[in-house]
Chain A
């Protein structure tokens, strides 16, 4: 999986609690992405990063924040989890950005908010 590790792989949490998902890469790629995948919606972009401390919003960013303090780590935080955030979350990386090179995906994190 192109040197991408997501943690945890599964998590169950209660409504209103904060949750942080981690994506770690060993490829030294510049771009990192967080997507969520839901039945009937496919993959939708939450946030992405184009370098250390450089991030931008995707199409479904409400309720999520991200941080990238090192090239290899991209964190996704749900400040106060809601049931609508129950989903499978995928991290992806791209060497030069998806204008030029493909994105490679991690194995996913299944998050359930109860």
Chain B
């Protein structure tokens, strides 16, 4: 079957580089955001989340930045490794009263050794 990776914007980096994946969201009422990683043939895997009362959150080798003024989210991966190669999705919860996530279309990250 056709890969989910087709038609996606692609970021190609060298092993050891830092990667930045961007996501724009449209709803100013969105107050909770999640980054997911999806490897080929697998379900999306939670990486890191952030709430709208924060503008930065750090995990292990990953940092998420939130700019509410321009409705922009980014995922920074430090010292990118070949195992980081995957499709990355941002997802947003659109605020009070919403029990669901809305996903972006994804970015494919390709890491070369």
Contacts and interface: CB of A to CB of B under 8 A. Distances in A.
Interface residues of B, number: 32
Interface in B9-49: 31-32, 34, 36, 41-46, 49
B63 to A, nearest CB: 17
A107 B106 CA distance: 18
Interface stretch (A13-21, A38-46, A63-71, A76-84): A38-46
B105 interface: yes
B104 interface: yes
B2 A39 contact: yes
B35 to A, nearest CB: 10
B99 interface: yes
A112 interface: yes
Given A98-B32, A99-B93, A102-B34, A45 B44 contact: no
Interface in B84-113: 89, 91, 93, 95-96, 98-106
Contacts of B34: 98, 102-103
Contacts, number: 74
Contact of A108 (B36, B42, B100): B42
Interface residues of A, number: 32
B70 interface: no
Closest 3 CB pairs of A and B: A105-B43, A43-B103, A42-B105
Interface of A: 1, 31, 33, 35, 37-45, 48, 50, 56, 58, 88, 90, 97-100, 102-108, 110, 112
27 contacts: A1-B43, A33-B101, A38-B4, A39-B3, A39-B5, A39-B7, A40-B6, A41-B105, A42-B105, A42-B106, A43-B89, A45-B102, A48-B99, A56-B99, A90-B44, A98-B32, A98-B34, A98-B98, A99-B31, A99-B95, A99-B98, A102-B46, A103-B46, A103-B101, A105-B44, A107-B42, A112-B1
